[in-house]
A = this chain, B = another copy of it.
Amino acid sequence: MANNPIVPLNELIAQFERLPGIGKKTAQRLAFSILEQPPERAEQFAAALLNARKKIHFCKVCQAFTDLDICSICDDAQRDKSVICVVAEPKDVMAFERTREYNGLYHVLHGVISPLDGIGPEQLRIKELMARLGSGEVTEIIMATNPTVEGEATASYLSRLIKPMNIKVTRLAYGIPVGGDLEYADEFTLARALEGRNEI
Taking Cβ atoms with an 8 Å cutoff, the residues of A that contact B are: 1-9, 11-12, 14-15, 18-22, 26, 28-35, 39, 41-56, 65-67, 72, 89-91, 94, 97-98, 100
> Are B1 and A94 in touch, CB under 8 angstroms?
yes
Per assembly, the copies of the chain total 2
Knowing A11-B52, A42-B50, A48-B11, the reply to whether A65 touches B6 (Cβ < 8 A) is: yes
Chain B residues closer than 8 Å to A26, beta-carbon distance: 21
Across the interface, name the chain B residue whose C-beta is closest to A51: B8
Known: A6-B66, A9-B52, A22-B30. 16 other contacts (CB 8 A): A2-B98, A4-B97, A8-B48, A9-B67, A11-B51, A12-B52, A15-B48, A20-B29, A32-B91, A34-B52, A34-B53, A35-B53, A39-B53, A42-B50, A43-B53, A46-B46
Knowing A42-B49, A44-B15, the reply to whether A91 touches B29 (Cβ < 8 A) is: yes
In the complex, what's the smallest C-beta–C-beta distance from A173 to chain B, in angstroms? 23
Chain B residues closer than 8 Å to A7, beta-carbon distance: 67
Chain B residues closer than 8 Å to A22, beta-carbon distance: 30
> Are A43 and B50 in touch, CB under 8 angstroms?
yes
Please pick, from B39, B45, B91, the residue contacting A28 in the complex, using a CB distance under 8 A. Answer: B91
6 pairs, A vs B, C-beta closer than 8 Å: A4-B97, A6-B56, A12-B48, A28-B91, A32-B65, A46-B49
